[in-house]
Amino acid sequence: MPPKPHRVLLDRVSGYADEAAAYMRRRRVSRQPFARLYYAGGRASDHAADSLAGGELFVSAGRLIEVAGKRPKP
């Protein structure tokens, strides 16, 4: 007997949600710090933390993070 149509829809939506949750979990575990610059025209460049420009970018970013402080409580 074929499953009811709404069951098919629910299963499909649950599947997508599970995939998305797994993707976010993997992203949290595996993502490394990065510095990425974007230019007019869509060009982008990555700078490793151990490069000269990358190091300076991370130091500048660290200062801004310090200025911003913690997230204000709602």
Residues that bind another protein (CB under 8 A): 24, 27-28, 31, 33-40, 45, 47, 53, 56-58, 60-65, 67-72
Q: Please, what is the minimum distance in Å from the beta carbon of residue 37 to another protein?
A: 5
Nearer to another protein, 11 or 46 (CB): 46
Contacts 24+ apart (CB under 8 A), 64-69: none
Query: How far is the C-alpha of 17 from the C-alpha of 23, rounded, in Å?
Result: 10
Q: Please, what is the minimum distance in Å from the beta carbon of residue 11 to another protein?
A: 27
Q: What φ, ψ does residue 49 adopt, rounded to 5°?
A: -65, -25
